[in-house]
Amino acid sequence: MDLLYLAGSLAGVLALVGLNVLLLGRAHMRLSPETAVARLKQDMPGFAPGAAAVSADGQAALIENARDGAPWLVEVKGDGLVTRNLKRDGLRGTARDGARLALALADFTLPRVRLELADAAAAQAWQAKLQGA
Amino acid sequence: MQLPNVIALATPLFILFVVLEMIAARLWRKATFEPWDTATSLLMGFGSTVAGGIFAFVFVGFAALLQPFAIADLGWSIPVFVVCFVLDDIVYYWWHRASHRVRWLWADHVQHHSSQHYNLSTALRQPWTGAFTPGMIIRAPLILVGFPLPMIAFVHGLNLVYQFWIHTEIVKKCPRWFEAVMNTPSHHRVHHATNARYLDSNYAGVFIIWDRMFGTFVAEDESDKPRYGIVKNLGSFNPLKVALHEWLGIAKDIARARGARDVLLYLFAPPGWTPDGSRDTTATIKARWQAFEAARNLAE
């Protein structure tokens, strides 16, 4: 294995990713409450949607499971979704600035999530809900 | 006897077929690609090659250590090649099954399953950390029986090359006789799916008959389209995080363990095991899904 081989392989990776963008474009997914709920119902059979809030940029949502009150996070990742049970999966803390809510998670691949909710009151209500979870 | 590195020889074809599948995705929308996901898969493949080169001494050393204890020297002939290929595939089945059921092995294998896409680039999403698992022990019988080491490496390479083409959504079903005997895109889509009904199934490499024999075969159900990835999908496309996340999880759990029993179970129990049962294993996910389905059927 020489440096030329490694450099050639990396160039090949770049070329293939470039071709992917050229042929198929980039993902521009925006979450709706319906999409988020549909995904949670797949991940957690019996999930019963309660209160929900989608970030203004459509990249993340908070949804409560009415069955047990657990708040769930749904986040867009590429053209896929990532879900976390914030009651169980280690929410480290929250910070709020007006309508903006920042979540810190004990999660190596998803340490931080930022949402901009409808208004400061909504963000405050969700922060209280998350802190109580 | 000198045998070629079949994976290195096949790499240009791998690239060609990824390009063709992207073109097919563009023309007929029968496959999906996402640039970040594709980049991660390809960089994982690149990193796996590098890691394989760096840590080759572990595998070579292990094989050299065992070889003097081989009970026979089976030599080189076509029948021995064929038997070696078939036995390597059985060994692959058990290694693969263990890789889903033992967290220490899963920490390596999860890297291959971490994409939410299922296309030919996913086949190249290969783990970096195999040298740090006890997985090679499962391969020991082939060495101890007396197959030549280059032959074992060669047939194993063929096995992996075969598995490339089954990572696609473009091929729906193959002829019935082929689906009955061989691992196919349909069978392997089931293996990569996170739908509860599909979890822990279809571990085959080349021949699907091992799953049929050992009770792990599940057919693809057209009414339940596979959803790909892992039960707790990753929040990052960073290849380093993909490669290390489960190792870090194990380290954290072991650091908090209350005794030797817990340490052993964090390493050898199925992924998701905890002393208090607070996380999901595939068994709990399946049980919850079955209970939900049963309740729904009763309500209907």
Question: Domain with A119 in it: what CATH number?
Answer: 2.30.29
Q: What Rg value do the Cα atoms of chain A yield, rounded? A: 18
Residue whose C-alpha is closest to residue A33's, from A15, A47, A51 = A51
Split at pLDDT 50, 70, 90, the class of A1 is: low
Token pair listed for B225: 């389209």
Answer whether A77 touches B (CB < 8 Å). Answer: yes
User: B35 and A17: CB-CB below 8 Å?
Assistant: yes
Task: Tell whether A22 lies on the interface with B, counting CB pairs under 8 A.
Answer: no
Among candidates A21, A45, A88 on the partner chain, residue whose Cβ is nearest the Cβ of B292: A45
Q: How far is A66 from chain B (nearest CA, A)?
A: 16
Amino acid sitting at position B158: L
> Cβ–Cβ of A80/B233 closer than 8 Å?
yes
Local structure of residue B39 (DSSP, 8 states) = H
Contact B249 A108 (CB under 8 A): yes
Give me the pLDDT at residue B27, please: 94
Predicted confidence at residue A4, as pLDDT, reads 87
Rg (CA), chain B: 20
Nearest to B185, CA basis, from B172, B196, B176: B172
Phi, then psi, of A104 in degrees rounded to 5 = -110, 125
> Is the residue at A4 inside a domain?
no
Residue A21 inside a domain? The answer is no
Report if residue A43 sits inside a domain.
yes
How many domains would you assign to chain A? 1
Which residues 35-74 of A are in CB contact (within 8 Å) with B?
A: 42-43, 45-46
pLDDT surpassing 80 at residue B84: yes
DSSP lists the bridge partners of residue A49 as A65
What is the Cα–Cα distance from B60 to B64, expressed in whole angstroms? 6
What is the CA angle A5-A8-A11, rounded to 5?
Answer: 155
In Å, how far is A123's CA from the nearest CA of chain B?
23
Cβ-Cβ pairs closer than 8 A, A with B, add up to 104
Tell me the pLDDT band of A43, cut-offs 50, 70 and 90: confident
pLDDT at A22: 96
Confirm whether A39 is domain-assigned. yes
Query: Mean of the pLDDT values across residues B125-148?
Result: 95
- Across the interface, whether the CB atoms of A23 and B22 are under 8 A apart is answered yes
Q: Above pLDDT 70, what percent of chain B? A: 100
Check pLDDT > 70 for residue A79: yes
Residue A120 lies in a domain: yes
Residue A119 domain-assigned (yes or no): yes
Strands A49-54 vs A60-65: parallel, antiparallel or unpaired: antiparallel
Q: How far is CA A43 from CA A6, A72, B237, in A?
A: 39, 11, 20
ipTM metric: 0.92
pLDDT of B17-66, one tens digit each? 999 999 999 999 888 999 999 999 999 999 999 999 999 999 999 999 99
B206-236: pLDDT as tens digits? 999 999 999 999 999 999 999 999 999 999 9
Percent of chain B whose pLDDT exceeds 90: 94
> Whole-number mean pLDDT of chain B?
96
Residue A128's domain comprises: 33-132
Kindly state the helix (H) or strand (E) to which residue B110 belongs, with its residue range: helix B103-113
Residue A51 CB neighbour total at 10 angstroms? 14
Asked if A81's CB is within 8 angstroms of B236's CB, the reply is no
Tell if the CB–CB gap between B22 and A19 is shorter than 8 Å: yes
Mean pLDDT computed over A113-121: 95
Average pLDDT (B257-263) is: 96
Tens-digit pLDDT profile for residues A9-40: 999 999 999 999 999 998 788 999 999 999 99
* Residue pLDDT, tens place only, B269-290: 999 999 999 999 999 999 999 9
CA distance B131 to chain A (A): 18
